[in-house]
Amino acid sequence: MDKVALLGSADGRIVKALVKYFEGKDVTFVCLSDNEHSDFLEKANELGIEVKYLPHEKNFEYFSSHDFSLVALCDYRQHVQDDVLKTGKFISIHASLLPSFKGPDAMHRAFNSGVKVSGVTVHWVTEDVDGGKIIAQYPVLIGNLTHFDEYEAEIYAVEKLLKDEVFDFSDLMNSGGCGNSCGGCGGCAK
């Protein structure tokens, strides 16, 4: 059985999409947050998923003592240190088409900039914020009359990315490496 950790700080909408994606597969989840009153933990709790408050400074201690097939960052607002990244495979689900709009509040910045295409990126987490190798992307068009609420709903409809035939979480969990070309884990998938 694969064990997946979902690590988030705020919004919990993605939790439901990820759980739905893995429905019928032999996967268990743990939802972790550095914000003990986050919507992220609340949504996970509503879905019957194990939840845990995990202060940022305890990440290394926690991840080095737990064996996860994959750790997915979903609206996580903290920088993950290199020593933590060496404990497993970490990916991030980011609300823009990287490399554009790296960092926090990417959705608002993309929308307000006037770009006509933004989207969602899944990428390997590295020390460089939102700088890891891109695994998959899903574009979201922004029309001249699109309201932010419509755009935001489309961004959070991550199921579309997960249904993309090119992308499969199982491939990430079963690969030998972390996806980085850093040489740190000895099993990088290039």
Tell me the catalytic residues.
130
The span from the CA of 163 to the CA of 39, in Å, is 25
- Name the residue among 41, 27, 11 with its Cα closest to residue 70: 27
- Name the residue among 78, 86, 1 with its Cα closest to residue 32: 78
Query: Token pair of 99, please?
Result: 């490399």
Alpha helices in the chain (DSSP H): 13-21, 39-46, 59-64, 82-85, 106-113, 148-155, 159-162, 169-174
Beta strand 27-33 with 90-94 is unpaired
Query: Token pair of 190, please?
Result: 């290039």
